[in-house]
């Protein structure tokens, strides 16, 4: 029927399906739940995660100082990759072999200025490490800034996937490049 309100060209009117309060409740729930699915962490989860990462950093430090290959093996992801201060790439297997062989032995390792940030199931740690070690080329000592990246795997276990270190130098003083710097 032309001209009637039921004409195919006339606007269709919809009655609101949800009241204003119900819509507000749905939106509040959605905003509160989205971070759970998007990998966001609550303050309590970040505090717990920070505690876990601090413990793992302590295990890593002790494994380095005690040449504990078994502990280091449990900390590193299968696809772990390190970049040493001299720019050398080192795989998980190479890292474990270096620790096993004793080519580099740490006599002291002090960690300060640790910062931990979370991005979903990833934790990024930056710290300052002051160390003394012996190498086949002689003693090695100094301060290094490093970044270590942890990822929580499907079983909920944090694994180290990446490490990179840079020697700290006074501004304007270039240092010698050494191939035996810590990793």
What is residue 120's predicted lDDT score, i.e. its pLDDT?
A: 92
Q: How many CB atoms lie within 10 A of CB 150?
A: 25
- The SS3 assignment for 183 reads coil
Predicted pLDDT of residue 59: 98
pLDDT for position 180: 52
Query: Do the beta carbons of residue 149 and residue 132 sit within 8 Å?
Result: no
pLDDT given at position 136: 79
With the CA atoms of 48, 69, 153 and 57 taken in that order, what torsion angle do they form, in degrees rounded to the nearest 10? Answer: 30
Q: Which has the closest alpha carbon to 165: 135, 113, 127, 133? A: 127
Consecutive 10-residue averages of pLDDT for the chain (183 residues): 49 47 42 42 74 97 96 98 92 95 92 96 97 87 96 96 93 60 53
Query: Element (H or E) spanning 160, and its range?
Result: strand 158-167
Q: Which domains does the chain possess?
A: 41-167 (3.10.450.50)
How far is Cα 124 from Cα 55, in angstroms, rounded to an integer? Answer: 14
């Amino acid at each position: 029927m032309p001209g009637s309100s039921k004409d195919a060209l006339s606007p269709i009117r919809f009655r609101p399906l949800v009241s204003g309060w119900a819509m507000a409740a749905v939106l509040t729930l959605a905003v509160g739940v989205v971070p759970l699915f998007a990998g966001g962490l609550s303050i309590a989860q970040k505090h717990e995660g920070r505690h876990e990462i601090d413990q793992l950093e302590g295990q890593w430090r002790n494994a380095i100082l005690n040449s504990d290959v078994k502990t280091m093996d449990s900390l590193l992801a299968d696809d772990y990759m390190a970049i040493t201060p001299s720019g050398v790439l080192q795989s998980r297997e190479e890292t474990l072999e270096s620790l096993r062989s004793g080519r580099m032995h740490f006599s002291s390792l002090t960690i300060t200025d640790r910062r931990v940030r979370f991005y979903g199931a990833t934790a990024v740690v930056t710290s300052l490490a002051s160390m003394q070690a012996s190498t086949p080329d002689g003693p090695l000592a100094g301060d290094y800034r490093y970044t270590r990246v942890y990822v929580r795997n499907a079983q909920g276990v944090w694994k180290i996937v990446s490490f990179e270190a840079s020697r700290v130098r006074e501004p304007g003083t270039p240092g010698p490049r050494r191939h035996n710097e810590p990793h």
